[in-house]
Amino acid sequence: MRVRKALWICCGVALLAACALPLVSETQLEVESANQFQKMRGQMPVATDAATRRYVNCVANAIIAELEPPYSDRLWEIEVFDEDQLNAFAMPGGKIGVFTGIFKAAKTQDQLAAVIGHEVAHVTQHHALERTNRELTQEIGIVGASAVLGGNRNMADLIRMGAQIGLSLPYGRGQESEADIVGLKYMADAGFDPRAAVQLWKNMEAQNDGAPPEWLSTHPSSDTRISRLIEALPEALERYNAARAAGKVPRCR
């Protein structure tokens, strides 16, 4: 009887997981992103210095201009938060947040472009959607087992919470590495020097005495990460030189 019960549980979990994928759509994630972004604006201090806001917008808009549709067609919202943290983020639906503390490590326009390019790459590569549905698949399995055993967990409520889960989870190592390389291409195409990305990660480490900042709490800037960026530099420099030849010379100050 115990074996039979276990088999029924496994079958129920597998069926629920298979039928539920994809659990959360890109549109649902974008709606939740917009809600969270507005909450942050209401709960956290925003920078009021006009020059700082112009500077961040200048770099961010240069990166956005190099994206492909549908991302290049969106009206991106950019906010600067007056918080002393080495932090920045981008959210599905076209939301970018930069914390003023990031300037302790991103000391030039090119280094800031490396930060923003990396974060925007998480959006264009659908990393938040991937981690949302990965996490929810596991949770749906728990719900399925609970239902077979007579539990009363509400699956609909769980799925509604899925977008919030996905936006709060850390990215995986593979996603971080992909964002590094894709972001490097974005900044180079916009006319920012991709070599600045290597120095950025070194600055990050120096600011934290070897400990990962909040932005990289689960994926510290290791020698391996920097070496991968260096390996990608030849192609990035070709893109950078082509961009500069085409007149893309950002002057964000």
Strands 77-81 and 95-99: parallel
39-48: b or e for each residue (b if 16 or more CB lie within 10 Å)? ebeeeeeebe
Tell me 73's DSSP state: G
Give, to the nearest 10 degrees, the angle between helix 173-189 and helix 196-207: 130
**Tokens of residue 21, six digits:** 């994928």
CA separation for the pair 203, 187 (Å, rounded): 18
Query: Cis peptide before 92, with omega less than 30 degrees from 0?
Result: no
Tell me 80's DSSP state: E
- For residue 119, indicate whether it is catalytic: yes
Closest CA to 189 of 89, 94, 62: 62
Q: Which of 119, 139, 176, 205 is catalytic?
A: 119
Task: Give SS3 for 120.
Answer: helix
CA separation for the pair 29, 169 (Å, rounded): 13
Task: Give SS3 for 212.
Answer: coil
> Which active-site residues does the annotation give?
119
